[in-house]
Chains A and B, each alone.
Chain A
Amino acid sequence: MSAANGNGLIEPDVAERVLARALANGGRFAEVFAESRQGLTMAIDESRLESVQSAAEEGAGVRVIDGATTYFAHVDGLDPADLERAADEAAAALRGERRQPQALGALFSQSIPIERAPAEVEAATKAALLRELDQRGRGQGEEIAQFSASYMESRRRVAVANSDGLFAGDDRTRTRIGAQAVARRGEVVETGAETLGAHRGFELLEDDPGQIAEQAARKALTLLDARPAPSGSMPVVVGGGFGGVLFHEMTGHGLEADHIQKGASVYAGKLGEMVAQPLLNAYDDGRLPGEWGSDGIDDEGAPTQKTQVIEEGRLVSYLYDHVTAERDGHEPTGNGRRESFRHLPIPRMTNTYIAPGEAKPEELIAELESGFYAVSFGGGQVDPATGDFVFGVSEGYLIEGGKVTAPCRGATLVGNCLDALAAIDAVADDFWMKTGICGKGGQKVPVGTGQGHVRVGRMTVGGTAR
């Protein structure tokens, strides 16, 4: 089970046998998804290396689709007997005529290449990296009271075979580090965090990764001088990179076709309509080289792709998995993703971003008499059905007289996505991507978010100032 690109996880003849068993009681579509995952995580806290955890899991999920119903079973283990058991369980509730799956085609694979497999790097090197992060984070000032950092590597090999003859594999290595700092001055305590991650190997960490420790510490130190954030409705300039989580939450989720088809999205029925000002272009791109949310194929074997979702303000595409694409008579967009073999694939974003505009970031701020500058978020949440969203600002500042002034703590942005998206009146030309972990339906997947600086004409800021 060591061959690259998922090949070898499941032999074609075994896959064909499993698919035939899955269709023993009928169904128009059957699929087997096999996965083998190895991972290592470790952390440094109180300057002590701890929580060293090593993982090795393998298993498979089999689904059969009949009419509007999906039957799914998953098992641990990849022995042919395990896979057949899953197929039998998935088929157990069906009552139709046996169907024969199509013969499998040749294995399709376009895995993202990595340079240096993390598993082949000595543990001592990883430990040394965490010690460096610790030292550099703590070195930012006497007021850094706590510092912790984490390291994560994971390799997921997957193989998918289905009754339409598709056979595809992928070999996915991700590496990520994170730093968290706590700064204290008397009674005032503030936190700062920073991450660096990619669908890459250990080469990600060759170019001064320790700077994230300094960035996290500086954020916490800056906030020591913060005043409580104001409350009220005002223009908001959103920072680049992780600022893109705003678009991810308020629009991206509403474009996932499962929400659309259930009428549980404010973007349902709006295809072809203007949903933003003409300066806005946005994409979901699962093929961005080395990005955190990229993969060679999605978790149903469809090649990942670049999908424009908003073109000059007009809504031009939703994001599909196999089931929702079939229902709409649309081609899949490579967005069928799942957390693991224990989950059903559903439409998910990959790397979602607002394309760079033509404005300069400083202009976005200079044009404002007063407003709020949200540099980065701690996270966010949206109800796609109502469009209501909320974001916690992890680093924010007042804008006064066209200038960024005092740092603010405890700001939350709330609003409705249709209004907020339409209120974006400037997009800057600086652009970068950041990593995130997105949760939906109890499944977590790695996603990239990105943008240059963006200005929302009016938004509700909920602060703690009295």
Chain B
Amino acid sequence: MSELSEATRRAVEAAQAAGAGEAEAYASRESGREVRVHGGEVESLTAATQSGIGVRAWIGHRVGYAYGTDLSEAGVAAIAARAAEAAGIADEDEFAAPPEPAEIEALAGLDDPSVETWETPRVAELALAVERTALAADERVVAVETAVYADSSERVAISSSAGVAGEYESSNCYAFLQALAEGEGSRETGLGFGLARGPAGLAPEAIGAEGAARALAMIGAAKPESRACPVVLDPTVAASFAGLIGGALGANAVQRGRSPFAGRIEEEIASAAFALHDDGRDPEGPGSAPFDGEGVPRRRTALIEAGCLRSYLYDTYTANREATHSTGSASRAGYRSLPSVSSSNLVVAAGSLSEAELLRAAGEGVYVTDVAGLHSGVNPVTGIFSVGASGRTIRGGELAEPVREFTIAGELVAMLGAVQEAGAEARWVPFGGSVKTPPLLVAELSISGS
């Protein structure tokens, strides 16, 4: 048994000794680094190690949580005692109970040795290459605000008094930049990014080129005319919307009457062109793991198929409320958070049209490449949204002049019903959680500009 698993086992015992009937401990040990470059030089270099433990304690059907960074024997005992104390404050909830153990199947491909073998100067050079490529793309690219490379490798262990026990290792890395382009009296920014399990999986030139291309494409942007028209969402924007939909499909939101999808299982809620599933075991997905934040095996869950709502996402608690099974969707933002329902990797099904064909199918409309204000412009209860956007005009089925400072507005479920086509080329996007999606053509959305 590893030191980390050993700490979780000790924490469970300590919580029970402090008065908890049942207990669960989740511990992680992480090391990571981040390189920020600017103007051809390393601006900052960060090396981080962190570890901690979070303990859930149940006294009957009352549950409490405590976490901390002190993994010494006395430290773990103190955290466990605080968890038991917290349980004593909470109210009785008949559905609060620890998950039953289930067989956990190992999942290969979650770590990439290049996170270890690529030394810091080499990943710094990767970040510098991202910046260089963007600056070299066009003389109108005047600067790169920041180019960043970051990675982390993590070991996670969980155990519980009910018999849950598991441990895994995974690594993740990403690089991104914000390019600045100037022209026609305006300044524009463009984001380029890439995700992988290790630096060997990143393509710095492609990341730099994307940031430059996005910034350059926006030069000379003006407000579009207000109208209702076909809209193509690029994958970064489609991912943000998919993330909102994934959130609204969490059983917690549904059961508490805070989701536009409540009470609509097996109803037609989307067009046949839109399908969505959650996949917690795709080795390419940044959110993949053998088990979720409470030790329940991760799996694939169909959410929307052939336009029909198939399932919500459940953790153990929300599953208990409906006498159903967890979908392995308890997520944690590390040991500092209680597990709660959230998607792992959302996957929007790809269609058959290339991007050019998608634009032709749109005819006259807007290609949206960026949205802002999603956290404030969307009512998660009703699904009504109005968000800031920028992108390009679509004229005669082709990309035309750039547009900015407008809003797109509508309602999430109606928008799903209006998805006319999904593109063929999907990519992983770190927005809206972790999402793999193609561009989507929506038959009609309201644009508010001038």
Alpha-carbon separation in the docked complex, A190 to B188 (Å): 36
Q: Are B372 and A383 in contact (CB under 8 A)?
A: yes
Q: Are B379 and A70 in contact (CB under 8 A)?
A: no
* The stretch of A44-52, A104-112, A282-290, A363-371 that contacts the partner chain: A44-52
Max chain A CB contacts within 10 Å: which of B48, B51, B226? B48
Q: A57-B68, A390-B407 are in contact. Are A385 and B187 (CB under 8 A)?
A: yes
Q: Are A263 and B142 in contact (CB under 8 A)?
A: yes
Q: Are B409 and A462 in contact (CB under 8 A)?
A: yes
Q: Are A460 and B66 in contact (CB under 8 A)?
A: no
Q: Are B384 and A464 in contact (CB under 8 A)?
A: yes
Q: Are A56 and B82 in contact (CB under 8 A)?
A: yes
Q: Are A76 and B49 in contact (CB under 8 A)?
A: yes
* A158 → B minimal CB distance (Å): 15
Q: Are A416 and B405 in contact (CB under 8 A)?
A: yes
CB neighbours (8 Å) of A381 from chain B are 372-373, 375-376, 388
CB neighbours (8 Å) of A392 from chain B are 373, 375-378, 386-387
Binary A-proximity of B45-80 (CB < 8 A = 1, otherwise 0)? 111111110000000000111111110000000110
Q: A76-B49, A464-B446 are in contact. Are A46 and B405 (CB under 8 A)?
A: no
Max chain B CB contacts within 10 Å: which of A54, A57, A69, A378? A54
Q: Is the interface of B mostly helix, strand, loop or mixed?
A: strand
B37 nearest CB neighbor, chain A only: A69
* B131 → A minimal CB distance (Å): 12
Alpha-carbon separation in the docked complex, A127 to B88 (Å): 11
Q: Are A390 and B388 in contact (CB under 8 A)?
A: yes
B77-104 interface (Cβ within 8 A of A): 78-79, 82-83, 85-87, 89-91, 93
Alpha-carbon separation in the docked complex, A461 to B406 (Å): 9
> B266 at interface (Cβ–Cβ under 8 A)?
no
Alpha-carbon separation in the docked complex, A409 to B69 (Å): 44
> B338 at interface (Cβ–Cβ under 8 A)?
yes
* A218 → B minimal CB distance (Å): 17
Q: Which of A52, A77, A264, A411 contacts B86 (CB 8 A)?
A: A52
Q: Are A182 and B405 in contact (CB under 8 A)?
A: no
Q: Which of B47, B93, B223 contacts A89 (CB 8 A)?
A: B47
CB neighbours (8 Å) of B409 from chain A are 231, 410, 412, 462-464
Q: Are B120 and A93 in contact (CB under 8 A)?
A: yes
Alpha-carbon separation in the docked complex, A229 to B375 (Å): 18
> A357 at interface (Cβ–Cβ under 8 A)?
no
> B284 at interface (Cβ–Cβ under 8 A)?
no
Alpha-carbon separation in the docked complex, A46 to B406 (Å): 38
* A460 → B minimal CB distance (Å): 7
Alpha-carbon separation in the docked complex, A264 to B44 (Å): 18
Q: Are B405 and A233 in contact (CB under 8 A)?
A: no
CB neighbours (8 Å) of B387 from chain A are 390, 392, 412
> A3 at interface (Cβ–Cβ under 8 A)?
no
Q: Are B390 and A388 in contact (CB under 8 A)?
A: yes
* B373 → A minimal CB distance (Å): 4
> A292 at interface (Cβ–Cβ under 8 A)?
no
Q: Are A414 and B407 in contact (CB under 8 A)?
A: yes
Q: Are A50 and B91 in contact (CB under 8 A)?
A: yes
Alpha-carbon separation in the docked complex, A92 to B121 (Å): 12
B93 nearest CB neighbor, chain A only: A48
Q: Which of A50, A72, A76 contacts B46 (CB 8 A)?
A: A72
Given A54-B67, A68-B39, A414-B388, 16 extra CB contacts under 8 A: A50-B91, A68-B43, A74-B46, A76-B49, A92-B47, A189-B257, A190-B381, A190-B382, A231-B409, A262-B143, A378-B376, A379-B376, A383-B189, A412-B409, A415-B405, A463-B448
For the complex of A and B, 4 pairs with smallest distance between CB atoms: A462-B407, A392-B376, A390-B388, A379-B376
